[in-house]
């Protein structure tokens, strides 16, 4: 006997009837607003090529480390899930992998992955029975069939999902060809990129030398000299802007910034490219580069996003066998107040600069981030991020930032995902959680209902567009 | 069309009907209790001179860095708000500044400033339309007219606000003349001071040399020798007690304490006054002085308040142009367990000593502060402070401290404000939030209703008076 | 006039009627499940000897530092509560001590101690009036009378409490005689032990030399040489398993682990036993021993529990007069991500190893612990611990871990108590709080009701038995 799959229309709303009624009314006003997705990791080739996806496993399971990290944590081998190793996809049949996933679907109870997937299953694929071992094949077959239909190609779904804007992320050393092809194709979908230069800034990244060589090639600059290196950044930022980018993104281990003199910076850079750097040099260089990027943002108007605090590739054995981004990035405590000061000494007073701060350390929300954003004109708070991109995480974000930073120093929602099919689900969860929070404020007479309606629209649309300069 | 301004009688109470009914009943019992304000920053000259205030901008906007930091964060120039620079008030007309504030009033949605101001507008000034651009002039004119009436002078409002006790804060090097004049005037209002010696303890404060010179002048002691310096503190503490002070206040960057031998302390002090100190010396001296102050409190019975964890004057450019206390103090992570041990080794077992601990780092509530206060006889927890002095902040304080420290190791509410008009609003918010928390405990059968009623009264009155020895 | 003592059947359930109804239904299904207590500190001699307890003070007050730390914090002298000093029990009459406790019972309002004690008073002793000064003697007399009855002996209560499994904790240098006697007695109660080797690992512990000598004696190994020392651990682990132990427990100041080469470890151990160690050596040795213990767990299948983050014996004067475990252990900030990596490099991928992590630093729940447990196969999250073993603490645990780690990387409840009479109360609180959390998820349509019922049973029974290999 299978279980029904039903998305309750009031899901994620408070059960208190007063709050629920308000949340419902607020949500009704914004549920159908188009999706603005200014930060994510979808593959631009999908939209450039518009080729069909093939099967449930390669579409939903293989690229989603949220899913397989949980299965891995419960002892399921990644090979059994057909997760690619450095040397290629294991021999496991994709249907068999899907079955393993389906049999373990109960592990996701209480997690956002479950909310997102059920939404995808019900709304995108039209399932009315729940995923479990008994329905694994039904799911695998149905998804495979649907994906072969024209309506399930990337561009068709982009329209069906009512996506108004979608940013991908490319490295400073990556090709922008897919984006150029999208633009050249005449397809009206607004897909653009984001400038993420970590690969040519983080000398501790294993691919730094290659990335730097490619950076030189793409820009024609002498990237091994400090002036040429900065010029190469300026050139690539312009390239990115030429295909529509409005923002940069910086995923550093810490939020440390620096304010070195030109001579000090040049000497540091010489050690970095000369291979004579210490770990302290590597950190200082990343720190200095945040300030350099902020300076360039003052020049060219690009919005700057800072995402610190992830200890990457924590599981050394897994990194050896499977490479990066395999669900083994673990957050660490992150300091902002002292770390950001050197950069803010340089650009803190700029009124035309926007720096969006993210965190994986919720203890910094009320203590550091909200007070910083509630003072400096250039600072805004990015939404609850990564592990905190969940109903409870989003609720804590609002509870811990609103009273000091207000709503207007926040920037709406980021889906931050490579899971294209889940984008509507993720935005829907964010909208519902925001409406639930606003409903509580109204129900406790801390906000008028008309103000909450105005804010619901701002959080969904206005703040995002203004923050990202869309 | 203007919007009505209405303070809902059930504001800040839970919307769940069971909890709301209990909260209402608890609140009804304590709403009219007189205000006891043992820690704040109002100007004693107001009560000494009883001169009228003049206008909305100088009364409500210019002194309130909670307000203009938020406007500043959204790109409004401080000059446009008539915020005084180091070299005086900018040319901006005060009415024009008020208009700018009114036009941006929506920025405060969801913040405690909004709750406090609406209370002031409705209850103190009698407005029934909301503040916005369209009502800016009405507000400015009406407030100006009211302030000219005898009923809006400081002493009249002190009575109208039902303030039973009000402590201001003066530095060790400040004059107590206003307080002496209050006492000499025959006015029965209980306004007193608090001994805040930071200016003569923190050698990293830019005014330390001047403060020390003034300290010498006021006490006649040789404050440049360790014994004379301590004697000067004793003398000034006695001066403060003579005008009614019962407490001291210590606003250090960290909670670090020290327990040096007399010889070590003397040698350290010689470096401090000799100008040969390092940043480590400065920190160690502050640390040692907390222990010295605790020792003096054992002698003279003054309650000690420790407020650590603020990174002062974070925005260097703003500090240069506008000076201190301009909304650019940002909290930092704060450690207590190890930091307080040296002092507690000396005074931890004293049963006649009270040390009230505050924090800007909520992660210390359940982890360090509640366990410390739940063990040491001399320790009590100050209320949710500064950025956390808000409905969500106060709720988190109770949720994270009550189970380990109980209610009886807390000390009621501090308004901690220089915004005299908002004092009733702030106490009202605190009373409502406490009643909401108690109501939840009753509704979940964790407390009997009669106990909650008893506690509501204790939190509002009894614990404050006992903790501060009033 | 005395006050009635009534345990409300819906205590700890949300007051929202929707959630309450769901919580009630979930709880009804699990309230009568037997108690599985895999981690605690009861005295095995109680069950070996089955002698009666004598009086309320020695049963409930003297061993419970949760209780007397709170009274101490409010100025009550430990002598007045008959708390034993290092040199014996003070002269205070036990009845008089109980009266002092009763007169201060209001201090526990809002604390879990109050919930547990009222449960003990009502359910175990049958009181229907509340404890207060006026009922102190009634309580003392009644409890004394009951304790003399056969039904109040340890084994009878073990049955009455429906305890299915109870683990105590013994040191590596402790005798297992009581456990051997339990097994030899033919009594069918399942009481076993847990291997806690801190005493022979922590060289900073004042009893380390004695413990090591006893360790040598018990094992016949040369514990002063690295190989013999490790062999002694293996031998004692086998001894513990022989009386039923399935787990080890490690209460270190930090979560630091190390991965030294055999030569480095041997050299370090030589410094430790040679008395030439620094504090850094002491920490490094503890760190290395966690990895060694993990290796042995891979060999012998014992589950490993890591409890870091308590600053022991914070109050030096109290430690001098009263010794250890007197309510003066204060938590400190605790880092896991970096600290655990050396050990995880060695055993992280083991699928047959279980390491249960606890914390006193709630800021690590969502930031570090849930992501770690949500990735590594060997890691599980222990329940809210010590100060956080309370309704709000347990709620925060679920709110901050579930979305990333799921329910299945948690291990159910630990009562972690030496207060045998409170075991049913503590498990009841945990069951109620879990049902309340599940009820919220159901009421907000984040979980189906049948799933919540399944999870309630798992959290109470299945996960515990599987995690601890019972």
Please report where in the chains the tokens 């030569």 appear, as a residue.
Answer: C263
Distance CA C221, CA A97 (A): 50
Query: Taking CA C120 as the corner, what is the angle to CA C119 and CA C123, rounded to the nearest 5 degrees?
Result: 70
Q: What is the pLDDT of residue C1?
A: 75
pLDDT band at A420 (very low <50, low <70, confident <90, very high): very high
CB-CB neighbors (< 8 A) of C362 in chain B:
363, 366-367
The more confident residue out of A198 and A325 is A198
Angstrom CA distances, B415 to B37, B166, B347, B467, stand at 7, 10, 28, 15
Distances (CA, A) of C245 to C177, C181, C193, C240: 14, 15, 5, 5
Average pLDDT of the residues in A394-406: 98
Which residues are registered as beta bridge partners of B311?
Answer: B330
**% of chain C with per-residue pLDDT over 70:** 100
What is the distance between the alpha carbons of residues B281 and B265, in angstroms, rounded to a whole number? 11
Residues of C with Cβ-Cβ distance to B402 under 8 angstroms: 110-111, 392
Among B333, B355, B367, B400, pick the best mutation site for testing chain C contact (most C Cβ within 10 A): B367
Cβ contact (<8 Å) for A344 and B315?
Answer: yes
Q: What pLDDT, on a 0 to 100 scale, did the predictor assign at position B1?
A: 75
Q: For position B209, what pLDDT does the model report? A: 96
CB contact under 8 A, A363 and C368: no
Task: Identify the sign of the CA torsion C199, C205, C211, C215.
Answer: positive
- For C360-382, the pLDDT digits (tens) are 999 999 999 999 999 999 999 99
Residue owning tokens 């043992």: B38
CB-count burial class (<10 Å; 0-12, 13-18, 19+) for B386: buried
* pLDDT score for A349: 87
Is C363 within 8 Å of A362 (Cβ atoms)? yes
Which residue has 């988190």 as its token pair?
B396
Structure tokens at A157: 């779904």
Contacts of A13 (CB under 8 A, 6+ apart): A19, A20, A23, A24, A27, A432, A435, A436, A439, C444
> CA of C75, closest CA in chain B: separation in Å?
5
Among A419, A439, A435, A445, residue whose Cα is nearest residue A161? A419
Separation in Å, CA of A379 to nearest CA in chain B: 8
A262 burial class (0-12, 13-18, 19+ CB within 10 angstroms)? exposed
Q: In this complex, do C69 and B448 lie within 8 Å of one another by their Cβ atoms? A: no
* Whether this model's pTM surpasses 0.90: yes
Residue ranges of B 390-419 with Cβ closer than 8 A to chain A:
390-393, 396
Interface touch A110/C18, C-beta < 8 Å: no
Q: What is the mean pLDDT of residues A157-186?
A: 97
Hey, is the C-beta of A1 within 8 angstroms of any chain C C-beta? no
Q: Over its length of 470 residues, how does chain B's per-residue pLDDT go in tens digits?
A: 799 999 999 999 999 999 999 999 999 999 999 999 999 999 999 999 999 999 999 999 999 999 999 999 999 999 999 999 999 999 999 999 999 999 999 999 999 999 999 999 999 999 999 999 999 999 999 999 999 999 999 999 999 999 999 999 999 999 999 999 999 999 999 999 999 999 999 999 989 999 999 999 999 999 999 999 999 999 999 999 999 999 999 999 999 999 999 999 999 999 999 999 999 999 999 999 999 999 999 999 999 999 999 999 999 999 999 999 899 999 999 999 999 999 999 999 898 999 999 999 999 999 999 999 999 999 999 999 999 999 999 999 999 999 999 999 999 999 999 999 999 999 999 999 999 999 999 999 999 999 999 999 999 999 999 999 99
Kindly give, in sequence order, each residue whose CB lies less than 8 Å from that of residue C198, ignoring residues fewer than 6 positions away. Answer: C171, C205, C250, C251, C252
Cross-chain Cβ contact A73/C376 below 8 Å: yes
Of B72, B327, B393, which is closest to A403 when you measure between CB atoms? B393
Q: Taking each helix axis from N to C terminus, what angle separates C226-242 and C262-274, rounded to the nearest 10 degrees? A: 90
* Beta-strand runs (E) in C307-414: 310-311, 330-331, 355-357, 379-381
Residue A1 has pLDDT above 90, yes or no: no
pLDDT at B404: 98
Query: C316: nearest CA in chain B?
Result: B345
Selecting from B327, B360, B392 the residue whose C-beta is nearest the C-beta of A367 gives B360
> Within chain C, which residues score under 50 in pLDDT?
none
DSSP string, C49-81: H-PPP--HIIIIITT-HHHHHHHHHTT--GGGG
> Is the CA virtual torsion B243, B246, B247, B248 positive or negative?
positive
What is the rounded distance in angstroms from the CA atom of residue B122 to the CA atom of residue C432?
A: 44
Which residue among A10, A69, A316 sits closest to C345, beta carbon to beta carbon?
Answer: A316
| Beta carbons within 8 Å of C239's beta carbon, 6+ residues apart | C176, C218
Between positions 361 and 380 of C, the ones with CB within 8 A of A are 363, 366-368, 370-377, 379
Q: How many whole angstroms separate alpha carbon A314 and alpha carbon A253?
A: 12
User: How close, in Å, is residue B231 to chain C by CA atoms?
Assistant: 29
Question: pLDDT digit string (tens) for B175-218?
Answer: 999 999 999 999 999 999 999 999 999 999 989 999 999 999 99
What confidence score (pLDDT) does residue B349 get? 86
Q: Mind telling me how many Å the CA of B328 is from chain A's nearest CA?
A: 6
Cβ(C16)–Cβ(C443) below 8 Å: yes
What is the pairing mode between strands A247-250 and A303-306?
Answer: parallel
Of A336, A337, A320, the C-alpha closest to A328 is A320
CB pair distance less than 8 Å for C110 and B374? no
- The answer to whether residues A397 and A371 touch, using CB atoms and an 8 Å cutoff, is no
Closest residue to C109, CB basis, from B337, B400, B447? B447
Distance CA B282, CA B15 (A): 50
Burial grade of C70 (CB within 10 A; 0-12, 13-18, 19 or more): buried
Chain C residues near residue A69 by CB distance under 8 angstroms: 374-375
Q: Name, in order, each residue with C-beta under 8 angstroms of C158's C-beta and a sequence gap of 6 or more.
A: C47, C166, C189, C191
Cβ-contact A165, A47 below 8 angstroms? no
> In the predicted model, what is the mean pLDDT of residues A366-386?
98
| Residue B240 structure tokens | 């403060």
- Nearest residue of B to residue C115, measured between CA atoms: B446
């Amino acid at each position: 006997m299978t279980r029904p799959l039903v998305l309750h229309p009031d899901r994620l709303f408070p059960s208190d009837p007063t709050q629920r009624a308000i949340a419902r009314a607020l949500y009704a006003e914004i549920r159908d607003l188009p999706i603005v997705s200014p930060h994510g990791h979808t593959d631009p080739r999908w939209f450039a090529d518009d080729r069909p996806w093939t099967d449930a496993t390669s579409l939903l399971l293989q690229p989603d480390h949220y899913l397989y990290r949980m299965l891995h944590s419960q002892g399921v081998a990644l090979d059994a899930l057909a997760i690619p190793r450095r040397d290629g996809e294991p021999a496991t049949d994709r249907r068999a992998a899907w079955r393993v996933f389906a049999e373990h679907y109960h592990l996701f109870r209480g997690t956002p992955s479950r909310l997102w997937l059920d939404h995808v299953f019900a709304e995108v694929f039209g399932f009315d029975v729940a995923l479990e071992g008994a329905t694994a094949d039904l799911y695998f077959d149905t998804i495979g069939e649907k994906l072969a239909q024209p309506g399930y190609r990337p561009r068709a779904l982009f329209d069906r999902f009512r996506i108004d804007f979608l940013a991908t992320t490319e490295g400073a050393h990556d090709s922008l060809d897919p984006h150029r092809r999208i633009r050249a194709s005449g397809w009206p979908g607004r897909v653009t990129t984001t400038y993420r230069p970590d690969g040519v800034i983080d000398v501790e990244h294993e691919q730094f030398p290659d990335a730097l060589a490619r950076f030189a090639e793409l820009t024609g600059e002498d990237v091994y000299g400090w002036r040429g290196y900065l010029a190469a950044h300026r050139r690539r930022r312009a390239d990115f802007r030429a295909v529509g980018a409005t923002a940069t993104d910086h995923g550093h281990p810490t939020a440390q910034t620096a304010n070195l003199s030109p001579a000090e910076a040049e000497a540091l850079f010489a050690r970095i490219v000369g291979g004579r750097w210490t770990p302290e040099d590597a950190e200082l260089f990343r720190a200095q580069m945040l300030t350099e990027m902020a300076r360039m943002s003052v020049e060219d108007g690009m919005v700057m996003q800072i995402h610190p605090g992830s200890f990457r590739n924590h599981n050394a054995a897994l990194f050896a066998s499977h490479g990066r981004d395999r669900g083994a990035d673990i957050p660490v405590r992150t300091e902002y107040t002292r770390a950001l000061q050197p950069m803010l000494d340089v650009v803190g007073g700029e009124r035309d600069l926007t720096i969006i701060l993210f965190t994986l350390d919720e203890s910094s929300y009320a203590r550091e981030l909200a007070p910083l954003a509630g003072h400096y004109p250039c600072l805004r708070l990015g939404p609850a991020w990564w592990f905190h991109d969940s109903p409870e995480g989003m609720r804590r974000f609002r509870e811990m930032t609103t009273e000091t930073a207000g709503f207007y120093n926040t920037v709406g929602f980021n889906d931050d995902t490579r899971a294209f099919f889940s984008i509507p689900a993720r935005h829907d969860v964010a909208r519902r959680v925001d409406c639930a929070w606003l409903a509580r404020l109204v129900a406790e007479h801390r906000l008028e209902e008309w103000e909450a309606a105005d804010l619901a629209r701002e959080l969904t649309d206005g703040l995002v567009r203004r923050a990202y300069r869309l």
